[in-house]
Amino acid sequence: MVNENFIKLPGAYLFSEIAKKVKAFQAEHPEAEMISLGIGDVTQPLVPAVIEALHRATDEMAHAATFRGYGPEQGYDFLRHTIVEHDFRRRGIDISEDEIFVSDGAKSDTGNFQELFGPDVRIAVTDPVYPVYVDANVMGGRTGMLGADGRWSDIVYLPCTADNDFVPELPSRNG
């Protein structure tokens, strides 16, 4: 069976819509200078140190003696050690390697955490919010129906505005 919650997702992803609008604007106004902040894409090439590290890592993967498959669930020991030494101890922060968890990123981790909760759990999101955090909950069946205003009926939206110093007021447990 197919997860019917996928059918609830709006037809177009926000960032593809932004890209279409930017392209149309540029076609109509070729003289306009733009700084695009819409998709969060990188704007500069990788620095030489990163390129060199990528090449070394690729070379390691080409030889049986240095090949690595899937890493341990917490991350490779050498990487966790390097993070402790260069990102924390160098700044005077005392942290041990077993306090470091290496994953594939915050976006997928947030989606994975959401899967710990059942479909009957009510969620709240900041407003504005990164679209995938809402979409992951749509797919998980925790959002209700999409209203004409573009908001989901079972999501609590927490406005982050200049008026509240971008710190939303949390609803009461009873509300």
**pLDDT at residue 174, as a whole number:** 66
**pLDDT at residue 15, as a whole number:** 75
3-state helix, strand, coil in the chain (%, to 5): 40, 5, 50
Whether the ω angle into residue 30 lies within 30 degrees of 0, i.e. cis, is no
**pLDDT at residue 103, as a whole number:** 87
Is the entire prediction scored with pTM above 0.75?
A: no
Structure tokens at 14: 């926000």
Distance CA 81, CA 90 (A): 12
pLDDT tens digit string along 36-49? 776 667 778 999 99
Distance CA 136, CA 152 (A): 13
Percentage of the chain beyond pLDDT 70 is 96
133 torsion bin: left (phi>0), alpha (psi -120 to 50), beta (else): alpha
Read off the pLDDT of each residue in 58-75 and give the average, rounded to a whole number: 92
What does the mean pLDDT of the chain come to?
A: 88
